[in-house]
Amino acid sequence: MLIHLSRVSRYAFQSFWRNLWLSAVIIFVMMLALLSANFFILTNLFVDTSLSIIEKRVNITVNFDITAPEQDILAMADRLRAMPQVATVEYVSKEAAKEYMIKKFEKEGNTTIRDSFEELESNPLFSSLVIKAQKMEDYPTILTALELTQNKDLISDKRYDDKRDLIQRIQVFKNKVQGVGAITLLFFICIAILIVYNTIKLSIYARKKEVQIMKLVGATNWFIRAPLIVEGMIYSIFAVLATILITFPLLGVIQPYMGYFDGQSLDILAYFSKNFTTIFGTELLAALALSIMSSLFAIGRYLKI
């Protein structure tokens, strides 16, 4: 068994080195297909992160009349928290709103707001509830619930920070990019299949007499197929290794230009490192499947002697 595997591997490497330039072309095209897949992953990561950040900033702010009792507001907050569509409800008292406004303007070097509040006899700001939904689709349900809730007469106004238009535009952009990426990926996959298929076909045609002799002396179809399948696997392994060697330096070049999301840079190097096995393992399996299937299709007709 070991002798058989050794011979198969030796024949495969001999064929690989004998047609080195052709092997390099196959590896290059397969690498382009895999790099297209990585670009596809990177685009999805960037757009999904953008959408996630924007969705986190969407909320409903409910302002209450100045005379609204605090216990009634807190009771309404508890009822809202009990809704499955609601993720969080934050109560902002009049005093908390006042302190927030003063600190905000003082940070910008403006002290007139504090002076203005000191001259007033009472706090003119509203108490409010800041409501975040579980999903974007849940906000209309929450708005409807606010219209039907008890003590709704205490509500002064509702502000729905609706970023659905922006999210929709980003989603459309994402779909377009995904479409272009998918077409590019499919193009390189088709080219890779054709090149691998035709390369192995030419290799078999050049060894047609050899295959015939092997058949006449009793060689099994598997013994004839095996070196070509192993050769295809070699293409795949080298293509994935080349993709890894190119991907990480490219990510290092791109990383400084990545935008900031909520004060933090999107660390694409960390993402690819963390998901290294998933990304490149899947690409290796896909490349192996591509090369093996191409090899089997190409050799099939020549075994019917």
Whose tokens are 């989603």? That residue is 171
Q: How far apart are CA 226 and CA 10, in angstroms?
A: 11
pLDDT at 168: 67
3-state secondary structure of 72: helix
In 3-state terms, the chain is what percent helix, strand and coil (to 5)? 75, 10, 15
- Nearest alpha carbon to residue 223 among 234, 236, 210: 210
Write down the architecture of domain 59-161 according to CATH: 2-Layer Sandwich (3.30)
Listed as own residue / partner, the contacts of 248-255 with beta carbons closer than 8 Å and 24 or more positions apart are 248/272, 251/42, 254/42
Average pLDDT for the chain: 77
Q: How far apart are CA 159 and CA 174, in angstroms?
A: 28
Q: How far apart are CA 247 and CA 179, in angstroms?
A: 22
pLDDT at 203: 63
pLDDT in tens, 194-230: 776 776 666 666 666 766 777 777 767 777 777 778 8
pLDDT in tens, 44-70: 788 778 777 777 777 888 888 877 888
What does the domain layout of the chain look like in residue ranges? 2-54+166-303, 59-161
Q: How far apart are CA 8 and CA 14, in angstroms?
A: 10
Q: How far apart are CA 294 and CA 290, in angstroms?
A: 6
Q: How far apart are CA 27 and CA 4, in angstroms?
A: 27
CB of 155 within 8 A of CB of 147?
A: no
Reading the chain (305 residues) residue by residue, the pLDDT tens digits are 545 567 667 766 777 777 777 778 878 888 888 888 888 888 878 877 877 777 777 788 888 887 788 888 888 888 888 889 888 898 888 888 777 777 777 676 666 767 666 666 677 778 888 888 888 778 888 888 877 766 677 777 766 555 556 656 766 777 777 777 778 777 777 776 777 677 666 666 666 676 677 777 776 777 777 777 888 888 889 999 999 999 999 988 888 877 655 555 678 888 999 999 999 998 899 888 877 887 777 676 666 65
Q: What number of residues does the chain have?
A: 305
Give how far Cα 145 sits from Cα of 14, 90, 93, Å: 74, 17, 22
This prediction has a pTM of 0.69
